[in-house]
Structure 1
Amino acid sequence: MKTATSQIRPAMVLGVMACLTFAAGTVPLTSSAQDNRTIATGSNIPLSADAPNEYVVKPGDTLWDISKIYLRDPWYWPEIWYLNPQVANPHLIYPGDVLKLIYIDGQPRLTVAERGGDGSQRLQPQVRREPLSRAITAVPYDVIAGFASRPVLLDKDQVEKAPYVVALRGDHMIGATGNEIYAKGIGDAAAEARYSIIHVDGKLRDPENNDVLGYTGIYVGAGPVAATGDPAKLILTETSREALQGDKLFPEVTDVKDDFVPHAPTSDVQATVIAVREATVMGQYQLIALNRGSSAGLEPGHILAVLERGEVVRDKYKKGGLGAAGNATLKSGSKVQLPDERIGLVMIFSTTPRMSYALVMESQKEIRQGDSARNP
């Protein structure tokens, strides 16, 4: 899976903004928040009515969590974060840090008042990308890493370039746990490196022109490289369905970029949901794919609102009649398109030129293929 390319560290939030570049000691800071935390204070930043004056960052917090504590609309985070030049690594937020809500020239700003974390983290003995600190991220690292290591929505280029199962040892037609398979295209993968096997299934098409943008994938199983080369030999140590010739391989441990922050797109976005991870009710951190990508200006961290298309109903009362009363039929009356209804928020975490992957952050009802995604 292609990974996000944003180089913004968690909570760096657009440090180039002029409003965040005050030098220490040149701007008077007030240590307490104003009582009326609404847009009516003269600020364009929609603070939560119960935003606390101080908040101690907890292990497991995400940037989205903290944004929701202080903002009615979390994508305004870049507007409120204040880079305190007196604090080491002011771009990052760690568990134990004390955040304080202050006002500068009447505008609410959130800053690190006291460092509580040491900014260090012992790396785990795994071949995986780990943050070099315990700095919080926009969403849990394991959520994105899980989608990357077992991809179920695949872009077209990703599928075409991925290694694949060329044969199964012992004249097997299908593979199961304990079987050995041969894969082409792995390259110089190290012995014992683990790969997920994904069966490529249905096509993901752009509803506007019917172009194939990608494919759905079905997780087959996983296993380590037993013998390097091309083809390489792998042993299936787990399977959830049969492995077949042509199935694709993806590294089980993937370099995942998670250093982005929630923010609204700067240009108008008109996208369509072309796939969901599962045909079930959507919950937080479930995956969707959109038919817009980096060529449309989307980038990791962008927040979009998802809208359910309004129903088409019959207006049987336009002429002042009694509608269904009398001889009216179900098909009588002109058609009326009801307005689209907002049903959730999603955050982009990875893009290709023509497609994006997003995580559901909030949803009021099931998000379906064909729903639209717009600026929040």
Structure 2
Amino acid sequence: MKIRFAMLLFTLVLFIPGLALAADEEPAIYVIKQGDTLWGLSERFIRDPHYWPNMWSKNGQITNPHLIYPGQKVRVFPDRLEFEPPEPEGSAPAAKKAAAAQAETMAEVAVERTYSVRGNEGFLMEADYKPAGFIVAVHHDRIVAGDDDIVYTDIGRRDGAKGGEKFSIYRKEGIVSHPLTNEVMGVKVVPLGTLQLTDLEQKASRAIITKAYQEISSGSYLMPYRGDKRHEVVLKMPARELKGYIIESYSGTETIAAGDVVYIDLGSAQGAEAGNMLYIVRDVTLNQQYAEGRVDRLPQELLGALVILETGKKTATALVVKSIDAIYKGDKIVSLTK
């Protein structure tokens, strides 16, 4: 009797969506039906419709969160949802056929997602951030310098500098203005390498290039040494609602896609933090000729997602991790889509 009751209970857990599970029980399996969305699944099973961006971000094969497919299976836990991996090779022929048909769209069970910061993404140098100094000349009047070359700087003992001190080298790429307001947001700078001071005068010094990523020339900015900036950024839910814009790209090109580095008009002053995932959206223009006042706005078009790598006070450097359609400077970014 107990065995039969247990089997009945297990069947109910599997096939009655929304039934709560204890933390130590096996998850229920839900098979996605026509019309299901990540938003709807999140609201239905864990009572949090805003959970879906987290679910989307951890399933790399879902390029469009509004397009999930009938037949996909979801594991339902009390506090999360996970996509089931495809059926193994030894499964029944029908199951194998279904798994093969779903192979390109089925999402793997996700591990905690992290993103690499290489250290060469650059940033926007805001108005209150000043360089420590400049490279004023290259040894033997050469135009460019590389590894182990000698250069001269305007940093000296009056600045409190000491022999052996390291600095990071940057190149000014240009002034960046907001694409909508024309407000000057900062100067785009990209890293070139590092140097170490060897001999100091009162207002100048000799230095050796210890590492060069690109060619280094006179006029390059010197900033306090930032060390080895390569590290992992772990996804982190924003502490508050964030809304802003993409204001520039690292490459300077107009069209932006997954893998590109961009700069945004959100920083620590707005509550943005490294690891925050934001969604790139675009307003859809409403033709009032046909709406006749019955509709005031249309749902925004979802273009992709980005992850913040590093923040300044009013700006941040971010990596585009998903792109569904072409992305441009001036496109909106939000912490939650509407």
TM range (shorter): 0.5 to 0.7
Gap regions ≥5 residues in structure 1 = 1-26, 50-62, 75-100, 111-135, 320-336
1:201 to 170, 173, 186: 173
User: 2:186 matched to which residue of 1?
Assistant: 214
User: 1:374 matched to which residue of 2?
Assistant: 334
CA separation in 2, counterparts of 1:217 and 1:66? 29
State the secondary structure of the residue aligned to 1:32: coil
Q: Which residues of 2 match residues 130-279 of structure 1 at below 5 A?
A: 138-140=113-115, 143-144=116-117, 146-147=118-119, 150-157=120-127, 160-172=130-142, 174-177=143-146, 179-185=149-155, 191=164, 197-207=169-179, 209-218=181-190, 221-222=192-193, 224-225=195-196, 227-229=198-200, 231-235=205-209, 238=212, 240-241=214-215, 243-249=217-223, 251=225, 253-254=227-228, 258=232, 260-267=234-241, 269-278=242-251, 279=253
CA separation in 1, counterparts of 2:256 and 2:236? 20
Larger radius of gyration: 2
CA separation in 1, counterparts of 2:324 and 2:169? 34
State the secondary structure of the residue aligned to 1:295: helix
Shift of 1:46: 6.7
Shift of 1:170: 3.0
Gap regions ≥5 residues in structure 2 = 1-20, 32-40, 66-74, 83-110
User: 2:106 matched to which residue of 1?
Assistant: none
User: 1:349 matched to which residue of 2?
Assistant: 309
TM-score in terms of structure 1 length: 0.53
Give aligned pairs, total.
258
CA gap of 1:352–1:244, structure 2 versus 1, over 3 A, is same
CA gap of 1:250–1:371, structure 2 versus 1, over 3 A, is farther
Deviations 1:160-190 (A, max 9, x none): 2343212223344x22336421124496577
Code of the aligned partner of 1:214 = G
Shift of 1:370: 0.9
Percent of aligned pairs sharing the same letter: 16
As a proportion of its length, which structure holds more strand? 2
1:30 to 19, 24, 28: 24
CA separation in 2, counterparts of 1:102 and 1:189? 60
TM-score in terms of structure 2 length: 0.58
CA gap of 1:44–1:65, structure 2 versus 1, over 3 A, is closer
1:290 to 264, 268, 276: 264
As a proportion of its length, which structure holds more helix? 2
Say if 2:176 and 2:184, in contact at 8 Å, map to a contact too: yes
Shift of 1:262: 2.8
Shift of 1:362: 0.9
